[in-house]
Amino acid sequence: MLLNLVAVSLVSTAPNVIAHGHVNESAAVIRYDTIHHPVIGKQGMVSSQRMLSSQIGADILSKGGNAVDAAVATGIALAVTLPRAGNLGGGGFMLVHLADKQKTIAIDYREMAPSAADRDMFLDSKGNVDNQKARFSHASSGVPGTVAGLAHALEKYGTMSWKEVVEPSIKLAEEGILVSYDLSENLKSRHAWLTANPATAAAFYKANKVPYEAGEVLVQPDLAKTLKRLAKHGPKEFYHGKTAELIAQEMRKQGGLITMEDLANYKVAEREVVTTTYRGYEVVSMPPTSSGGVHVAQMLNILEHHPVKQQGFGSAKNLHLLSETMKLAYADRSKYLGDPDHFDVPVDGLTSKAYAKALSQAISLSKATPSSEINPGNPAPYESPDTTHFSVMDKFG
């Protein structure tokens, strides 16, 4: 079973279970531009942005768990080790490949809009977008899907209990993690915003709102309490229990929209994957509500019509082609992508080889086209009539 979160593939092989993290926590001051090297493992592999999280996933594989068990444990651990992206209060996407059935499942657990949300909620009195409200207020929070999505995957495709995959992260939150260089810099760069809220100031800064330095220890007692509740009472606790009550209470106090009813009504969706081919390789990716899968497929389809290899990786011609291709895809993304439960997304048209050929002919290889001059295409004629990343592979393929 190969499982991949947020639609990016990792394929490796090796003599034992390997945990591969982007940054070594025992040397937390090392930056991202460290030496990369091949990693091999016969029983399985876990790759994430934090070694501690990857190790938790690898330990699950060593205990006999499958790729889904390890991925869920890794995802929960990232909520502790990678606060800027790992989460319990966000959402995500998951691709699960079932080797025995040669089938790939897309699990959509993206955040949902609260029931009180409306189209104009982020417009000011003059009809202009209020960026502060849209990006940094409690009103911009969607109903979280991470816990429900991970629980759904574990129950349907995993082999271990919810408690077994949650418990390793409790110790991490209670005993603390070494602050990495990037976490330290991230907290410094967002100091004014995060310290404006007493809760986040207490959670991520030292006394008097002093930022942590790389190599210091960050303990997260409140997160540990939440994880303990989830381990004891199960994932439904997040949507119906004390955690849900705490979320709704915070929203009421700070002008957010999420209610207990919104949390109770959250649903995970399984969807059909997006597929294409690229120079003989099959590409399988996440469908909407993620925009990544559709437009990665679209961009690959466009690039097939150009001599990418001959241009040379990183050459001026190659970078020009990539940027022009991305401009076309992102113009379509802005116009056509949305929630398929509420919006007709022309996936077949956008990922059509014929449509990509038409778009490829609009690319000038001799000059850059200003983004302001690029309009969305029309994928309708090509329609059939009838978006934190980690990867896990187990020994079952």
- Listing DSSP states for 358-381 in one string gives HHHTT--SSSPPPGGG------GG
State yes or no: is 146 an active-site residue.
no
Q: What angle do the packed helices 292-303 and 316-336 form, to 10 degrees?
A: 140
**pLDDT on residue 53:** 94
Assess whether pLDDT exceeds 90 at residue 393. Answer: no
**pLDDT on residue 377:** 83
The pLDDT tens digits of the residues spanning 320-346 come to 999 999 999 999 999 999 888 888 899
Asked whether 392 and 44 are in contact (CB, 8 A), the reply is yes
What are φ and ψ of residue 373, in 5° steps? -95, 0
**pLDDT on residue 250:** 96
Assign domain 275-387 to a CATH class.
Answer: mainly alpha
Assess whether pLDDT exceeds 80 at residue 224. Answer: yes
Gyration radius (Cα) of the chain, Å: 22
Percentage of the chain lying above the pLDDT 70 cut:
88
Asked whether 83 and 223 are in contact (CB, 8 A), the reply is no
| Domain locations in the chain as residue ranges | 2-269, 275-387
Strands 274-278 and 44-50: unpaired
The rounded distance, in Å, linking the Cα atoms of 152 and 295 is 26
Q: In the beta sheet, which residues pair with residue 18?
A: 45
Q: Which H helix or E strand runs over 146?
A: helix 146-157
Asked whether 281 and 304 are in contact (CB, 8 A), the reply is no
For residue 366, the one-letter residue type is: S
Confidence of residue 379 (pLDDT cuts 50, 70, 90): confident
Q: In the beta sheet, which residues pair with residue 20?
A: 47
**pLDDT on residue 36:** 62
Averaged pLDDT, 230-246: 98
Catalytic residue among 34, 277, 387, 388: 387
Tell me the pLDDT of the chain averaged across its residues.
89
The pLDDT tens digits of the residues spanning 105-152 come to 999 999 999 999 999 999 999 999 999 999 889 999 999 999 999 999
pTM score, whole prediction:
0.86
The pLDDT tens digits of the residues spanning 37-64 come to 677 777 889 999 889 999 999 999 999 9
